[in-house]
Chain A
C-alpha cells in the first residue's frame, strides 16, 4: 500500500535544491567561433577548438560573459570582480577534451535570490529561493546509442557522436538548499523554475525551451523528520523537461523517499531519471562515492575580471522582473487574474502591452489579441507572433473603431485583410472599400425600401412591438453591405416608424 502525499508531509519535511542549466543564445560557442544554431547536420558546426584537436586553444566568448553577468544581476547576485575557469576532468566520448571547462571555486556570480509566489487554499504564499552561484561552462557533444533495448550506452551495437553541441555556452544556476516549503515543495520548485524561465526570457539571453533542452532542471530532494535538523540523503532527478514535470518529479521523489524511510531502508545517493509517461524516476548513476573531477584552474584562459563600470551599465539595463511587471500591468489595466493568466498562456502579454503603449484601450487590445486574432492563428495552425499583424496595426484598428469609421464587424474584415498581407489597416480599408455608411440619406433610402418590402413587420413595430425591429435592422444592414452603424440604423428606423 503506497503512501499518500498527505501522509508524507505529515511526517517529513522536504528539503529542495535546484540546479538549472541554461543554454545561452549567443551566435557562437563558448570558446570558439563555431555557430550554435540548433538542428544542423551532425558535426558541421565544429572546428579544431571544439573538436579538441592537438594544439587548439580556447578563447572566451565575451557575449557569454555579458549574458551571465546579466543573469547574475537579475537574480540579485554579487558579481565577482575576479573569477576563473577551471577544468573538470573526466573521460566520456562525447566530451572532446575529456575535461569540461567550467567554473569551480571562483564562480562569476554568487549569493542571489529569487522570490516566488504560489496560490494555495490558504491564499497567496511567498517563498524566497536563495541562489548560491551562477557560473559558466560549456556543453558536451551528443551521443546516440544505436541498437540495444534501452538506448543507453550499455548494450548498444554502436554509438554515433555529434560534436555540434560541444562548446555551446551553458550557465548553471544553483540554489542553496530550500527548507521550509513543507507540503508546497513541488509547487515552489515549479514556481521557481517558471519564474527563472520568465526572467531569462525577459533578459533575452536564452530560448529557455525546456522541451529542446535549452533550459534543463535537476531537482535535488531529501526528507527529514519534521523537527529534525539533520538533512536526509538526497537524490538528484535529471531529465525534467517541463514545468509540470518539475512539480511531479519532486512530489514523486518525496513519496519514494518516505516509503523507503518508513520501511527503515535508506535512500541511495544517486541521480534519477524522470520518466514523463509514468511520472516516476528510475535509478541512474550512483553518487555514493563522490567522483573525483580533479578540478584545477584552467591554464589556457586568463581570469575573468569584468570592469566595474561595465557591470553598472549592465545593471542599469536589467529589465523589470517579469512577475513584478505583470503585477503592475494587471493593476494598471484593471484585469482579473484569470484574464492575465490567459494572456500569459497565449503568450500575448508583450504584444498586448505594445498595443496599449500605442494608445489602444487595454480591454480592447486584449480582446482583439486573445479573441479574433487568436482564433485566426488557430485556424491557420500558427503562432500569433508569426501572423502578419503587429501591435501598430491593432492599435490603428482600435482607433478606427473608436472614431466610428469601422464597426466591430468591419474591423474583423480589416484584421483578416492585414493578416492576408493586404497591407496596413488603412490600406485594407481603402482597397476593400470598407467604410461605415453614416450618410443618413443613404440609410433612410434603405430603411424605406426595407419597410416597403416587409410592410407587415414594419406595421408591428409601428404599433409598439419593438423586438420585431431586429429583423428590419438586419435587412437594412444587408442592404448596406454591413457597412452601416447598426446603432444609427436602429435610431433612424424607430424614428421612421414613429417610435
Chain B
C-alpha cells in the first residue's frame, strides 16, 4: 500500500478500500521500521496524525464532500510553522519552540484534509545541499545510506524515496526542493515565486524562498501544488491571480508542438557523464513525444552562483537577527546579573551552526556601508540580467530544460569541509530562484557509472507553472514505458518488505 502514488491512495480512500487511519498507521509503521537508518524525520506526530486521519474518516463516513487528497499522509519540512508542533529549522537555536500559529501552507493542508505525519530533517535554516548542516545529524539517502539525500530538504525527499510518506512539503531558495528530488529519484517542484504563501515559512532569504510540493509522481506533485497554492493576504509578495491549472496539465501530459529550450550554459564541462547521458536520452524521448528541441543561451548564468551567495546571505543576516534569546527558543548564559547582550551573544554562539554563521558574516559584510554597492548592489544587477536572459530564452522556447545537478549523490562527509564544492551543486537550480520562475526536477534514470538517480530540470515562465507539468508528465510517461516500472523499484529494499 505504501508504495502506491498519492493519487492511487486517494482513489482507494474514496472507494473505502482503505481508511485514512489505516493508511496513516501503515506509514507510521514504515517510519518506525526504517527511519533509524534514514533519519528523514525530526519529529513524528503519531497522535496528531492518527487523530486527524480518524476525523477525516468520520467526515467521509458522513458523506461530506472531501478534497482530492483528503486522508493521504504527508511529511512537512521542519521550516514550516505548525501550531503546537516542534519547529526547529534543523537548528539548536529553535530547540523546544512550538509555534502558536499555523503557516498558511499548513492551514491549507489541514483545510484539504491532508494528514501531517511529522517534521522532516533539513540543513540548518535551509542552508546547505546535503542535510549535513542539520544540528540533529544528517539524513541518509535511501539509495545508498552512506550518501547524502541532497539539501536543504533532504528529509522530505528521503522520506518519499523510503516510502515513509507519499507526499512532502519542501522549500526552495536555491534548489532545496529540486536537488534533493534529483539525487533521491523523486519529483520536486519550486512553483513561481509568490505562487505559494511564505507566511509561516521561517525565512532564510525572503526574496528567494518558495515552498512547493514533493512527491513520487508528477501528478501527485500537481495535486499537492493545487492544495497549497493561491493568493494569501498575509504575504505581501503573494501573487493575486488564479492558481495555474497544473493538475489538468499533469493529467494530459501533452507536449506536441511545444518548444523545449536546452540551456547551453547548464550542461557540458563539470557535469558527470552519466548525468549528461540521461539528459540527452530524455531529450530524445520528448522529441519523440512531439516536442521541438531548440538550443538557447543564457550568458549571464555564469554569474548566478556568485550573485546568489551575496543576496541570500545578506537577507539571511537580517532575517536571522530575531534569534536573540529574548522571546523564544534557546537561551544560554542567563545567569543572575548577566546582561541581555551577553545572553544574546552566547545563545547565538552556541545555537547557530558553522554554515549559518558563515553566511551571517558574509551577508553582514556584503550589506556594510562602503561595500553595499560593490556586493549587494552588483548582485541585484546580476539578478536583473539573469531575469532578462530568461525573458529572452522564453521568446524562443515554451520551457527550458537542463540537468538538475551536475552530479549524482555524493558521500556524506565528502564535501562537508569544502563549502565552494558544496555550493557548486546548485549551479543549475539557482538561476530559477534568482528570476522567481517555476522549476521542476523529475527522475530521468540512473547514471551508468554509479547506478544513482539523475534529475531532469524543467523551467517555466512566471505563473506558467502548468507548462513544466505538461512536459514532466510526458517525460515521466515515456520513461515509465521504457523502464516498465517506476525508477524507485530499482532502489535497495529497506525494512525487509516492499
Binding site for B on A (CB under 8 A): 48, 51-60, 87, 89, 91, 93, 96-99, 153, 159, 161, 290, 292, 294-296, 299-302
Determine if B255 is an interface residue (Cβ-Cβ < 8 Å).
no
Please tell me if the beta carbons of A89 and B233 are within 8 angstroms of each other in the complex. no
Please tell me if the beta carbons of A96 and B327 are within 8 angstroms of each other in the complex. yes
The residue of chain A having its C-beta at the shortest distance from the C-beta of B125 within the complex is: A54
The residue of chain A having its C-beta at the shortest distance from the C-beta of B325 within the complex is: A93
Please tell me if the beta carbons of A294 and B237 are within 8 angstroms of each other in the complex. no
* Separation of A87 and B328 alpha carbons in the complex (Å): 22
List residues of chain B with CB within 8 A of the CB of A57: 198-199, 234-236
Please tell me if the beta carbons of A60 and B369 are within 8 angstroms of each other in the complex. no
* Separation of A313 and B364 alpha carbons in the complex (Å): 43
Please tell me if the beta carbons of A58 and B236 are within 8 angstroms of each other in the complex. yes
Please tell me if the beta carbons of A294 and B369 are within 8 angstroms of each other in the complex. yes
Per DSSP, are chain B's interface residues mostly helix, strand or loop, or mixed? loop
Please tell me if the beta carbons of A54 and B326 are within 8 angstroms of each other in the complex. no
Which 8 pairs of residues, A with B, have the shortest CB-CB distance?
A: A98-B321, A294-B367, A299-B206, A299-B207, A55-B200, A54-B202, A55-B81, A52-B322
List residues of chain A with CB within 8 A of the CB of B322: 52, 54, 96-98
Please tell me if the beta carbons of B87 and A54 are within 8 angstroms of each other in the complex. yes
Q: Out of B97, B341, B364, which one reaches A54, CB within 8 Å?
A: B97
List residues of chain B with CB within 8 A of the CB of A51: 327
Q: Out of A52, A153, A294, A301, which one reaches B364, CB within 8 Å?
A: A294
* Separation of A60 and B323 alpha carbons in the complex (Å): 23
Please tell me if the beta carbons of A97 and B236 are within 8 angstroms of each other in the complex. no
Once A and B bind, how many residue pairs between them come within 8 Å at the CB atom? Answer: 102
The residue of chain A having its C-beta at the shortest distance from the C-beta of B364 within the complex is: A294
* Separation of A302 and B240 alpha carbons in the complex (Å): 12
* Separation of A98 and B205 alpha carbons in the complex (Å): 16
**Shortest beta-carbon distance, B447 to chain A, in Å?**
37
**Shortest beta-carbon distance, B92 to chain A, in Å?**
14
* Separation of A153 and B340 alpha carbons in the complex (Å): 10
* Separation of A51 and B317 alpha carbons in the complex (Å): 18
Determine if B283 is an interface residue (Cβ-Cβ < 8 Å).
no
The residue of chain B having its C-beta at the shortest distance from the C-beta of A293 within the complex is: B369
Among the stretches B69-77, B99-107, B415-423, the one at the interface with A is B99-107
Determine if B89 is an interface residue (Cβ-Cβ < 8 Å).
yes
Please tell me if the beta carbons of A48 and B233 are within 8 angstroms of each other in the complex. no
Please tell me if the beta carbons of B233 and A56 are within 8 angstroms of each other in the complex. no
* Separation of A153 and B464 alpha carbons in the complex (Å): 54
* Separation of A55 and B200 alpha carbons in the complex (Å): 4
* Separation of A99 and B80 alpha carbons in the complex (Å): 22
Please tell me if the beta carbons of A89 and B367 are within 8 angstroms of each other in the complex. yes
List residues of chain A with CB within 8 A of the CB of B80: 55
* Separation of A445 and B364 alpha carbons in the complex (Å): 98
With A91-B344, A299-B315: A53-B99 Cβ-Cβ less than 8 Å: yes
With A51-B327, A54-B99, A55-B80: A296-B372 Cβ-Cβ less than 8 Å: yes
Question: Could you give 15 example pairs across A and B, Cβ below 8 Å?
Answer: A48-B101, A53-B327, A54-B322, A55-B199, A56-B199, A56-B200, A57-B198, A89-B317, A91-B321, A91-B344, A98-B322, A296-B315, A296-B376, A299-B206, A302-B236
Determine if B324 is an interface residue (Cβ-Cβ < 8 Å).
yes
Interface of chain B residues 348 through 375 with chain A (CB within 8 A): 364, 367-369, 372
* Separation of A256 and B344 alpha carbons in the complex (Å): 38
List residues of chain B with CB within 8 A of the CB of A89: 317-318, 321, 367
* Separation of A87 and B317 alpha carbons in the complex (Å): 11
Q: Out of B99, B323, B326, which one reaches A93, CB within 8 Å?
A: B326
Determine if B475 is an interface residue (Cβ-Cβ < 8 Å).
no
**Shortest beta-carbon distance, B123 to chain A, in Å?**
16
* Separation of A89 and B318 alpha carbons in the complex (Å): 7
* Separation of A108 and B202 alpha carbons in the complex (Å): 29
**Shortest beta-carbon distance, A238 to chain B, in Å?**
22
Please tell me if the beta carbons of B321 and A99 are within 8 angstroms of each other in the complex. yes
- 8 additional contacts, CB 8 Å, given A87-B318, A91-B341, A292-B369? A48-B100, A48-B101, A296-B318, A296-B376, A299-B315, A300-B206, A301-B237, A302-B236
The residue of chain A having its C-beta at the shortest distance from the C-beta of B208 within the complex is: A299
Please tell me if the beta carbons of A294 and B318 are within 8 angstroms of each other in the complex. yes
The residue of chain A having its C-beta at the shortest distance from the C-beta of B197 within the complex is: A57
Instruction: Select the residue from B202, B323, B367, B368 with max chain A CB neighbours within 10 A.
Output: B367
Interface of chain B residues 50 through 109 with chain A (CB within 8 A): 80-81, 87, 89, 94, 97, 99-101, 103
**Shortest beta-carbon distance, B384 to chain A, in Å?**
13
**Shortest beta-carbon distance, B274 to chain A, in Å?**
38
List residues of chain A with CB within 8 A of the CB of B200: 55-56
List residues of chain A with CB within 8 A of the CB of B201: 55
**Shortest beta-carbon distance, A152 to chain B, in Å?**
13
* Separation of A413 and B314 alpha carbons in the complex (Å): 72
Q: Interface digits, B290-325 against A, CB 8 Å rule (1 contact, 0 not)?
A: 000000000000000000000000110110011110
Please tell me if the beta carbons of B236 and A91 are within 8 angstroms of each other in the complex. no
* Separation of A59 and B235 alpha carbons in the complex (Å): 7
* Separation of A15 and B414 alpha carbons in the complex (Å): 64
* Separation of A89 and B372 alpha carbons in the complex (Å): 14
**Shortest beta-carbon distance, B22 to chain A, in Å?**
33
Determine if B479 is an interface residue (Cβ-Cβ < 8 Å).
no
Instruction: Select the residue from B89, B99, B201, B318 with max chain A CB neighbours within 10 A.
Output: B318
Determine if B224 is an interface residue (Cβ-Cβ < 8 Å).
no
List residues of chain B with CB within 8 A of the CB of A48: 99-101
Determine if B437 is an interface residue (Cβ-Cβ < 8 Å).
no
List residues of chain A with CB within 8 A of the CB of B203: 54-55, 300
**Shortest beta-carbon distance, A95 to chain B, in Å?**
9
* Separation of A296 and B368 alpha carbons in the complex (Å): 10
**Shortest beta-carbon distance, A63 to chain B, in Å?**
15
* Separation of A300 and B202 alpha carbons in the complex (Å): 12
Please tell me if the beta carbons of B321 and A97 are within 8 angstroms of each other in the complex. yes
The residue of chain A having its C-beta at the shortest distance from the C-beta of B341 within the complex is: A91
Please tell me if the beta carbons of A55 and B368 are within 8 angstroms of each other in the complex. no
Please tell me if the beta carbons of B199 and A93 are within 8 angstroms of each other in the complex. no
* Separation of A98 and B236 alpha carbons in the complex (Å): 20
The residue of chain A having its C-beta at the shortest distance from the C-beta of B328 within the complex is: A53
Please tell me if the beta carbons of A52 and B327 are within 8 angstroms of each other in the complex. yes
Q: Out of B236, B326, B328, B368, which one reaches A60, CB within 8 Å?
A: B236
**Shortest beta-carbon distance, A279 to chain B, in Å?**
33
Please tell me if the beta carbons of A59 and B234 are within 8 angstroms of each other in the complex. yes
**Shortest beta-carbon distance, B146 to chain A, in Å?**
33
Q: Out of B100, B340, B364, which one reaches A53, CB within 8 Å?
A: B100
List residues of chain B with CB within 8 A of the CB of A56: 101, 199-200
* Separation of A302 and B340 alpha carbons in the complex (Å): 34
* Separation of A98 and B199 alpha carbons in the complex (Å): 19
**Shortest beta-carbon distance, B347 to chain A, in Å?**
12
Q: Out of B199, B327, B368, which one reaches A292, CB within 8 Å?
A: B368
List residues of chain A with CB within 8 A of the CB of B328: 53-54
List residues of chain B with CB within 8 A of the CB of A98: 321-322, 324
Please tell me if the beta carbons of B236 and A300 are within 8 angstroms of each other in the complex. yes
The residue of chain B having its C-beta at the shortest distance from the C-beta of A294 within the complex is: B367
The residue of chain A having its C-beta at the shortest distance from the C-beta of B344 within the complex is: A91
**Shortest beta-carbon distance, B23 to chain A, in Å?**
29
* Separation of A55 and B79 alpha carbons in the complex (Å): 8
With A48-B101, A54-B81, A97-B321: A300-B237 Cβ-Cβ less than 8 Å: yes
Please tell me if the beta carbons of B103 and A296 are within 8 angstroms of each other in the complex. no
**Shortest beta-carbon distance, A388 to chain B, in Å?**
43
* Separation of A97 and B100 alpha carbons in the complex (Å): 17
Q: Interface digits, B190-226 against A, CB 8 Å rule (1 contact, 0 not)?
A: 0000000011111101110000000000000000000
